[in-house]
């Protein structure tokens, strides 16, 4: 199925039920890995809001939830490389186990930036989960990235929290740019 958002055409790539299956599996792994711990789950806004909301429904251990807001795409389909911090983390993560929730890791610049920044706050551990990962675009080695929902081609995607010009975040499925 194809959809139009502004000047671009997208086709369905990952169905909602496939996303849910992966989320259930990641949730189960978190429950096992963090048993008897009280992690702080940190969502990277805006893109991760839907993934985080669905994932934490499957996290049955106690956890706290917080957000940071960063942007790097600024409405284009290629990463701008310049990271803007729009909302600072409000919880103290010193000596805490942090689970970072990302929508997508593309070049890895944003995740690298966040992990380095969080490390300066002296958490006990940092583990990152990303719903999507573009291995061909990745420019960093980030050992903290442990859970990935889907490895995808190096093409621009929208839906399930991800936008094009701030549109498409509400789509239940994930769509890939047609070119």
The answer to whether residue 174 forms part of the interface with ligand 5GP (CB under 6 A) is: no
User: Closer CB to ligand 5GP, residue 30 or residue 110?
Assistant: 110
Strand 8-14 to 2-5 pairing: antiparallel
The answer to whether residue 104 forms part of the interface with ligand 5GP (CB under 6 A) is: yes
User: What is the C-alpha to C-alpha distance for residues 114 and 112, in angstroms, rounded to an integer?
Assistant: 6
Q: Label residue 122 left, alpha or beta by phi (over 0 means left) and psi (-120 to 50 means alpha).
A: left
Q: Tell me how far, at minimum, the Cβ of 88 lies from ligand 5GP, in Å.
A: 17
User: Closer CB to ligand 5GP, residue 38 or residue 167?
Assistant: 167
CA angle 123, 129, 130 (to 5 degrees): 135
Q: Report the chain's terminal Cα–Cα distance, integer Å.
A: 15
Residues that bind ligand 5GP (rule: CB under 6 A) add up to a total of: 20
Residues in CB range of 45: below 8 A, 6 or more apart = 67, 68, 69, 70, 86, 87
The answer to whether residue 72 forms part of the interface with ligand 5GP (CB under 6 A) is: yes
Q: Is 106 a catalytic residue?
A: yes
User: What is the C-alpha to C-alpha distance for residues 114 and 97, in angstroms, rounded to an integer?
Assistant: 15
Options 54, 97, 103, 106, the catalytic residue: 106
The answer to whether residue 108 forms part of the interface with ligand 5GP (CB under 6 A) is: yes
User: What is the C-alpha to C-alpha distance for residues 135 and 22, in angstroms, rounded to an integer?
Assistant: 18
Which among 149, 151, 146 is positioned nearest to 135, based on CA atoms? Answer: 151
**Only segment of 1-9, 34-42, 89-97, 150-158 that touches ligand 5GP (CB under 6 A):** 150-158
Q: Tell me how far, at minimum, the Cβ of 9 lies from ligand 5GP, in Å.
A: 15
Q: Which of residues 37-66 bind ligand 5GP (CB under 6 A)?
A: 47
The answer to whether residue 162 forms part of the interface with ligand 5GP (CB under 6 A) is: yes
Provide the annotated active-site residues: 106
Q: Which residues contact ligand 5GP by CB under 6 A?
A: 47, 72-73, 79, 102-111, 156-158, 162-164
């Amino acid at each position: 199925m194809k959809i139009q958002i502004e000047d671009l055409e997208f086709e369905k790539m990952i169905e909602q039920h496939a996303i849910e299956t992966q989320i259930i599996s990641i949730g189960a792994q978190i429950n096992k890995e963090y048993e008897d711990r009280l992690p702080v789950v940190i969502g990277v806004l805006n893109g991760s809001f839907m993934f985080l909301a669905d994932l934490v429904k499957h996290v049955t251990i106690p956890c706290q939830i917080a957000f940071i807001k960063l942007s790097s795409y600024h409405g284009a389909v290629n990463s701008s490389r310049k990271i803007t911090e729009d909302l600072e983390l409000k919880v103290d993560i010193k000596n805490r186990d942090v689970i970072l929730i990302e929508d997508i890791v593309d070049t890895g610049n944003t995740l690298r930036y966040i992990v380095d920044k969080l490390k300066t706050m002296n958490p006990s551990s940092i583990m990152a989960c990303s719903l999507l990962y573009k291995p061909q675009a990745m420019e960093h080695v980030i050992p903290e990235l442990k859970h990935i929902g889907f490895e995808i081609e190096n093409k621009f995607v929208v839906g399930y929290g991800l936008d094009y010009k701030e549109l498409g975040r509400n789509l239940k499925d994930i769509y890939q740019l047609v070119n």
